[in-house]
Amino acid sequence: MHLPQRQLGLRIENMVTEYTATARAHSNIAFIKYWGNRDSGIRLPANSSLSMNLAALHSTTSVTWSDALEEDRLLINDEPAVPAALLRVSAHLDTLRAELRSTLHADVSSHNNFPMGAGIASSASAFAALTLAATAALGMRLSERELSLLARRGSGSAARSIPTGFVEWHAGSADKDSYAESIASPDYWPLEDVIAVISRDHKHVGSTMGHATANTSILQRVRVETAADRLLSAIHAILARDFEALAPVVEEDSNLMHAVMMTSKPSLFYWLPKSLRVMLAVQEWRRQGLQVCYTLDAGPNVHCICGAQDAAVVAARLKELDPDIEVIRSAVGGGAQLLTANDRTD
Ligand code: DP6
């Protein structure tokens, strides 16, 4: 049967092809920090880094690729994202489109289960979940290494939110060998991150800008040159479940990164007076016998890494120190997970 031309056109116009998937990834806290890139375009880091995934903090992201869309769309916690966030996600989708040889645009909806304004980084969990959902929606089942490589392009620390538990990101020498892998599962060593939320203010300078200034500090070269030794010490300490060996190296690495930040041009001061109060208290508690050490990312909040048996005491002591400090606790988390993937044609 021959359909009249107009009717045929209408049928084709109404046919929408959509591919959708949802993934979840956890945030992570670095023990050995990523700070500075050798190539910022592809986020090739200056040094290898090491982190622990955070079970209690995650992003859940749905991606729908559709030939009915003329541009990418982004909702964060059900609200339209600010233009800068959409631009960054769209740039990552460009990377994925090139990789997947697709020209489709995407509708992205991401939910963080932790307060966005709490000063806890969401880019790691967000870009890890986005990468897994976006590739799975198009039917790609990539290896963990491939996913980590791709997530890295969206946000460096997202590379470490793909594998499970305790994770090492190999700096590598080029795009294809800069990826993260697990060194131990979440249950290998029951540590907890007890986060002292000191300020909910939005960072004045985000990590991406910060990385770009790292080389203006005369200390960055020394930090990078000595990072491999600290990384090795931290890996040995984790594998031996040796808190006494882990604590000083974690604190030293955090202090070194902040020394670089403070001596960059322009200088970046993320610590607040309260951050230092908590850091000094943590060292005192360790001297008293508690398994606890501190580390800070690009913000004033203090991550108190604890042996699980001491986490409740540390949380209570933080409140005693200052009742205004909000405390968020997290055990070691797993890797990024695909929740649903339905290739669909309406
Ligand atoms: C201080 O991964 O947030 O938290 O690649 O620009 O997204 P982008 O930076 P990001 O940097 C993280 C920096 C850090 C240390 C760390 O997590 O290793």
Count Cβ atoms within 10 A of the Cβ of residue 115 and give its class: 0-12 exposed, 13-18 middle, 19 or more buried.
middle
> Which residues of the chain carry a pLDDT beneath 50?
1-13, 344-346
Torsion sign (Cα): 131, 136, 139, 143: positive
The answer to whether the predicted template modeling score (pTM) of the entire model surpasses 0.85 is yes
Which residues are CB-neighbours of 175 under 8 A, at least 6 positions away? Answer: 42, 44, 149, 153
Residue to substitute in 122, 150, 178, 207 for testing ligand 1 pocket (most ligand atoms within 8 angstroms of CB): 207
What's residue 180's pLDDT?
98
Residue 291 in contact with ligand 1 by CB distance below 6 A: no
What's residue 11's pLDDT?
40
What's residue 2's pLDDT?
34
Residue 49 in contact with ligand 1 by CB distance below 6 A: yes
At residue 42, what is the residue type?
I
Report how far residue 42's alpha carbon sits from residue 55's, in angstroms, rounded to the nearest whole number. Answer: 28
CA of 121 to the centre of ligand 1 (A): 8
Residues facing residue 75 across a β-bridge: 80, 109
* pLDDT digits 0-9 by tens, 287-321: 999 999 999 999 999 999 999 999 999 999 999 99
What's residue 9's pLDDT?
32
